[in-house]
Amino acid sequence: MTYHHAPSPNDTRDAASSMTMEVQTKTGTAQSPKTTASTHDQTLLQVRNLKKYFPITQGILFQRQVADVKAVDGISFIVKQGETLGLVGESGCGKSTTGRTILQLYRPTEGQVVFRGKDLAMLKGEDLRKMRSDMQMIFQDPYASLNPRMTVGDIIAEPLEVHNIAKGKEKKERVQELLQIVGLNPYFVNRYPHEFSGGQRQRIGVARALAVNPDFIVCDEPISALDVSIQAQVINLLEELQDRFDLTYLFIAHDLSVVRHISDRVAVMYLGKIVELTDSRTLYANPLHPYTRALLSAVPIPDPIIEEKRERIILVGDVPSPVNPPKGCRFHTRCPLAIPICKEVAPEWRDVGNEHFVECHVV
């Protein structure tokens, strides 16, 4: 197989990481950190009562709608300019659907996504296309998200063509520049995705997202499919790029240990709803919602003495179906603190102080 005989881009892993180091040095010295208090105070994106339902239809000749998958069911939050907002929850709770609906890859069933003061759900045609180039996505699976029949150069150039940004020589130079920015050798433009390692493919995915100079990127579990040894490199790259290009991230993950270091604030999602949202430090030091506490208790602590003594909450059962979510508080079927009212009345979303939001009757 050519994979074994041809000089593989995998062979250049060291070269790639030394280039990354170069990027690190550049951003570390020449660039001042952009995440100042003032930039963080500005709202870039506002999500208001966002819902995304997928219809379930039945019938052979005439399809009729029999139910809905309530993947996202009324969520509200803001994302501040220059910050990383983590979005965490078990698989199937609606994280990817949230990201895709914000980017208008799915049109919302209800609610608003206001980006720089414009409601994206109301935009159509050219206006929507223009706004979309400011918002990009990095996908979970770097194996499935890159077209195996396209060269790396064509993959990265595609958004430049779609958005009419560069042609000919300029396009070629931009692609090479992007490869360099993400720590890959610019000579690899003519190679195919299968010739790269998982971490390198994710770098290609990052280069494709960066091609159109976006302001906002949804990173949908960008390291979940990667070897643990590579995960930190990709996180470091994303952080460097954020500083260098003034990026704002919605960073999706299924466990809290991953988002801890990269997020300024964290939103915890359960069955289509956000149940808690606060700054990272507070969330880890003082988690309020029983679901957040359960997720946190699954994160190992490096100190063996604390690790042995700490409270462990084991969540029983799976996430219930989003077709028929439980009445009252959606978490009551699995909650160790549930009281009778939890089965009947949905708790309200409230601020317990200092923008620490939680949705629970007992905390």
What span, in angstroms and rounded, lies between the C-alpha atoms of 359 and 50?
A: 16
Please pick, from the candidates 97, 101, 197, 292, the single residue that binds ligand ADP as defined by CB under 6 A.
Answer: 97
Q: Which does 238 bind (CB under 5 to 8 A by kind): ligand ADP, ligand SF4, Mg ion, none?
A: none
CB of 218 to ligand ADP, least distance (A): 11
Candidates 1-9, 44-52, 83-91, 324-332: pick the segment binding ligand SF4 (CB under 6 A).
324-332
Which two three-digit tokens encode residue 183?
């720590």
Please pick, from the candidates 67, 69, 313, 362, the single residue that binds ligand SF4 as defined by CB under 6 A.
Answer: 362
Does residue 268 interact with ligand SF4 by CB under 6 A?
no
CB of 311 to ligand SF4, least distance (A): 16
- Of 277, 318, 312, whose CA–CA distance to 298 is shortest? 312
CB of 95 to ligand ADP, least distance (A): 3
Candidates 95-103, 156-164, 193-201, 203-211: pick the segment binding ligand ADP (CB under 6 A).
95-103
Please pick, from the candidates 20, 27, 96, 248, the single residue that binds Mg ion as defined by CB under 5 A.
Answer: 96
Q: In what order do the strands lie in the sheet with 64-80?
A: 64-80, 43-58, 110-115, 118-119
CB of 270 to ligand ADP, least distance (A): 10
- Of 280, 288, 182, 286, whose CA–CA distance to 238 is shortest? 182
Candidates 105-113, 115-123, 228-236, 335-343: pick the segment binding ligand SF4 (CB under 6 A).
335-343
Does residue 203 interact with ligand ADP by CB under 6 A?
no
Contacts of 349 (CB under 8 A, 6+ apart): 76, 274, 357, 358, 359
Residue 115 near residue 216, CB atoms below 8 Å = yes
Q: Which does 322 bind (CB under 5 to 8 A by kind): ligand ADP, ligand SF4, Mg ion, none?
A: ligand ADP
What span, in angstroms and rounded, lies between the C-alpha atoms of 273 and 280?
A: 19
- For residue 218, what is the enclosing H or E element? strand 216-220
For strand 273-279 and strand 265-270, is the pairing parallel, antiparallel, or unpaired? antiparallel
Does residue 218 interact with ligand ADP by CB under 6 A?
no
Partnered with residue 52 across adjacent β-strands are 72
Candidates 71-79, 92-100, 105-113, 311-319: pick the segment binding Mg ion (CB under 5 A).
92-100
- For residue 4, what is the enclosing H or E element? helix 2-5
Number of H helices, E strands in the chain: 13, 12
Candidates 70-78, 170-178, 245-253, 331-339: pick the segment binding ligand SF4 (CB under 6 A).
331-339
What span, in angstroms and rounded, lies between the C-alpha atoms of 36 and 38?
A: 5
What span, in angstroms and rounded, lies between the C-alpha atoms of 296 and 59?
A: 44
Q: Which does 203 bind (CB under 5 to 8 A by kind): ligand SF4, ligand ADP, Mg ion, none?
A: none
- Of 292, 301, 221, 222, whose CA–CA distance to 254 is shortest? 221
Does residue 242 interact with Mg ion by CB under 5 A?
no
Please pick, from the candidates 203, 292, 329, 349, the single residue that binds ligand SF4 as defined by CB under 6 A.
Answer: 329
Chain residues that interact with ligand ADP, rule: CB under 6 A:
54, 69, 71, 89, 91-97, 322
Chain residues that interact with Mg ion, rule: CB under 5 A:
96
